[in-house]
Structure 1
Amino acid sequence: MNQLKRPAHARREITTADSAAGSLKNATNPKDCGGELSGEPIRAFRRKGAASLTLAAGIGALVLAMPGGEAHADNSYTAKVHTDSLNVRSTAGPDTPIVGSLRSGDVVTVTDELLGWLKVENASTSGWVAGYYLKKTNGSPASAVISSSSVKTSAQTQAASSGSSTVSEGSKALVTANSVIIRSGPGKKYELLGSANRKDAVTVLENQNGWSRIKTSYGAYGWVSSQYLQGGGAAKAKAAVQKQKAIHVSTAAAQSPKADTSEIKSGSLQGKLIVLDPGHGGNDPGTVGTTYGMVEQELNLQTALYVRDYLVSRGARVELTRTGSGERPSLASRAQLSGSLGADAFVSIHYNSSLSASSNGTIVCFYSESKDLGLARAIEAPLKDGTGIRNNGLAFGNFKVIRENSVPSVLLELGFLSNPSDEATASSADYQRNAAKAIADGLQLYFSK
């Protein structure tokens, strides 16, 4: 189907580091929520590879080590540019000087890798580029097959200086950097699953060669560099608070009555102001489908526009946190918009991914029992009946855009792009319209009381 092709955009870059922020789309349980996590992000990337998958709360690889490619004796290899225009920078990082550019189809030699940035050269230019838009000449994702450069970003240096000795297995730890990339294995060659953010409490399950396998307070798993974790009493206290919050809210959700879709028509959206948040955007694509390469940020926006149309047709007023693929509002600005406008509800739209390709279905994530649960229940009911993708019900979601929102808020995961069936279904305009109608119905049901 023609919608399965990933569109190209002009001049793309990825802002990614093992200390950069992203969305944790890496839950192994389909009940885990995805989307952006707490913290102020510089977006990290999750590119899904066919070799592993796939959460996010969940999740392939931006820099996924895969067999194949034209490797040379010195471990360099050739790769091709797969975007209209790509900046070449003097050093790895999004804010370093631009020294040249590459165009779609240009072939380069990759000689080094640092946190998702690849050092490249050809006859016309040399420098560092965002690795997400390179593929090996055999079509597989560009991989880091050599040791990383000794160059460190300022975020790395900060995280390293704040880190302590490796936290022992079974202990609690706090993330010390602004955000830390979570990977599927103990090393940079493994796929990116998402990120954990500063002061997130995690449990260290295993340590291996400077990497720690962790479990977050909301049930997502993965590996992070041990230098970004710090144990001690503060970590234990924070973990206890986060766990108790998740248990309390999840229990409340389980005990709450199901919404009755027969009451949808008794509600009215006339004059209601709804803020729609198409997740990700700009140089943060969100999850990328493992079978057809669907890009989450584009699906989020397409679906949000359908929701807007349904809401407007029923008399609602709608504001979007972004209206184009090139926009990437901060999480704080997304969360604050609804309060500043005096909105009646906030809906963040995402698609999910998992380390298990069998994970599938929709999830409605909420944070506050008192503020958000009623809206979550109202939207869950029509989603369950009207999309053709399995419904996984409600889940606690510790996400900044809903946690720090002053109005009733939910974050929706509308299918797993790591699941071939979900991805194929979600790629169709029919599914997106059906999901959009279900969301509009849910909002109307919410305002029936």
Structure 2
Amino acid sequence: MNKMIGVTLLAACLLGMAAPQPAEAKSVAGGYTAQVYVNSLNVRNEPAKNATVVGSIKNGARVTVTDEQHGWLKVQAGNTSGWVAGYYLRKVNSTSPRSGASGTFGASITTASSSTSASAPSRTTKATVTADSLRIRSGPGTQYKVLGSLKAKDTVALLLRQNDWARIRTASGEIGWVAAQYIRDGATQGSISTVSHTGNLRGKLIVIDPGHGGSDPGMLGTTFNTMEKDLNLQTALYVRDALVAKGARVEMTRTREDQKPTLARRVQMSEALRADAFVSIHYNSSPKKVSGTLTFFYSESDDLKLARAIENRLGQGIGLKSNGLSFGDYHILRENRIPATLVELGFLTNPTDESIVRKSSYQKRAAKSIADGVADYFK
């Protein structure tokens, strides 16, 4: 979205596409395995978007990553070798079996030790996924590695319950953990979780709005051609996980790449659900050389306190500086009857910002700060 710090701000449409988790490699010594999450991924002879294309790799293929430069990964896949945009790869365990149904993948995970209560069903119980997209993790918590995902109406075998998490086995045999509130026990037709959420957001309903979507990509990064809509959705999913971990109920205005709700529909959703707060996730742009985050409010009586609580957390350090608070005359803020804020998490027109925000580690830090800010607001 095009906005200039300290001057009149230009709003962009706030409309989704499910983004694959960016591959990260703080160290690639010895290489690691990653999987392609785009229909056809161009391989280039240099780590730059204008470099010569030397081949392509199909969706689902696994590659060996040997190097990383500013979001570009050097890969080897059969006889094809070169550089690809790391945003379209996801790191996987080299010992993980290939996935079958539902596009999931992963390895068998031993039960994580924990002081919290856990119980196994008296018999293997079938459960159905109720969320549009549900992540499978290596352990019972959002801090664990993402192994794969499930989609609505997928069936799984319930192996173990541990507080708000469930250990499951997919139809193709992968084993991992999912948030229990997003699967329904076939025997009870209700949530399998019978243990109350922990955290200070219990009982609160938060609407998370990943900006843009569908045919509206939002801002395109000027260095790596990163699509804002992809970052918005991926970050929003991390925010959802962080809020759920604090006990909140979370609804999202979009969860799939083919969803494109109007601005009015996004506002109507929060009002129809009688939500307690609304947070819109975006990434920024500017013709000036600016960097960092910016948090917007419309109403000083309703929105400012929420925006300030979130900005305070972002300002404590997530990898980019906070540019503070700013008034924003945007539809989703102006027309919302509940406390609402819009957060810009970095400038895609700044090469340094773009290289940072593409990484899932940054998105997770930002998501945690947003969730902590929401919790602070309700204290």
CA RMSD of superposed structures (Å): 2.4
Residue 363 of structure 2 is aligned to residue 432 of structure 1: yes
SS of residue paired to 1:290? coil
Establish whether residue 305 from structure 1 lines up as the match of residue 237 from structure 2.
yes
Output the amino acid matched with 1:36.
Answer: A
Determine the structure 1 residue equivalent to 2:2.
26
Q: Does 1:391 align with 2:322?
A: yes
- Paired position in structure 1 for 2:277: 345
Write the distance in 2 (CA, Å) between the matches of 1:341 and 1:438: 24
1:26 shift after superposition: 2.6
SS at match of 1:373: helix
Higher helix share: 1
> In 2, distance between residues paired with 1:305 and 1:33?
27
Q: Indicate the residue corresponding to 2:309 in structure 1.
A: 378
Given that residues 283 and 344 in structure 2 are in contact (C-alpha distance below 8 angstroms), is that contact kept between their aligned partners in structure 1? Answer: yes
Q: 1:278 to 1:35 in 2, by over 3 A?
A: farther
Alpha carbons of structure 1 residues 339 and 277: separation in structure 2 relative to 1, 3 Å: same
Secondary structure of 1:292's counterpart equals coil
State yes or no: 1:409 paired with 2:340: yes
CA contact 2:3–2:284 (8 Å) conserved in 1? no
Deviation, structure 1 residue 29 = 2.7
Q: What's the counterpart of residue 278 of structure 1?
A: 210
For 1:383 and 1:366, the matched residues in 2 are separated by 15
Q: Offset of 1:300 from its aligned partner?
A: 0.2
Match of 1:363 among 278, 285, 294: 294
* Runs of 4 or more consecutive aligned structure 1 residues displaced over 4 Å after TM superposition: 30-35
1:206-221 → structure 2 map (5 Å cutoff): none
| Larger RCO (CA within 8 A; separation ≥ 6) | 1
Q: Is 1:320 the counterpart of 2:320 in the alignment?
A: no
Show CA shifts across 1:355-385 (max 9, x none). 12x2111000110011101001100101001
Work out the CA distance in 2 between the residues paired with 1:349 and 1:32. Answer: 20
Describe how 1:122-161 pairs up with structure 2 within 5 A.
Answer: none
CA distance in 1, matches of 2:240, 2:7: 27
SS class of match (2:302): helix
Percent identical among aligned pairs is: 54
CA shift for structure 1 position 32: 6.0
Deviation at 1:323, TM superposition (A): 0.1
Q: Does 1:444 align with 2:375?
A: yes
Distance of 2:256 and 2:243 partners within structure 1: 19
Alpha-carbon offset, residue 327 of structure 1: 1.2
User: SS where residue 370 of structure 1 aligns?
Assistant: coil
Deviation of 1:36 (Å): 3.4
Per residue, is there more strand in 1 or in 2? 2
Determine helix, strand or coil for the equivalent of 2:370: helix
1:192-216 CA-to-partner distances (Å, cap 9, x unmatched) read: xxxxxxxxxxxxxxxxxxxxxxxxx
Instruction: Name the SS for the 2:209 alignment partner.
Output: strand
Q: CA deviation at 1:293?
A: 1.0
Q: Give the paired residue count.
A: 202
Match of 1:268 among 200, 204, 212: 200
Gaps of at least 5 residues in structure 2 are: 17-37, 41-55, 57-198
TM-score normalized by the length of structure 2: 0.50
- In structure 2, relative to structure 1, the CA distance for the partners of 1:298 and 1:360 (3 Å cut) is same
Does the 8 A contact of 1:34 with 1:350 survive in 2?
A: no
Secondary structure in 1 matching 2:301: helix
1:289 aligned to 2:239?
A: no
The DSSP-based 3-state class of the residue aligned with 1:436 is: helix
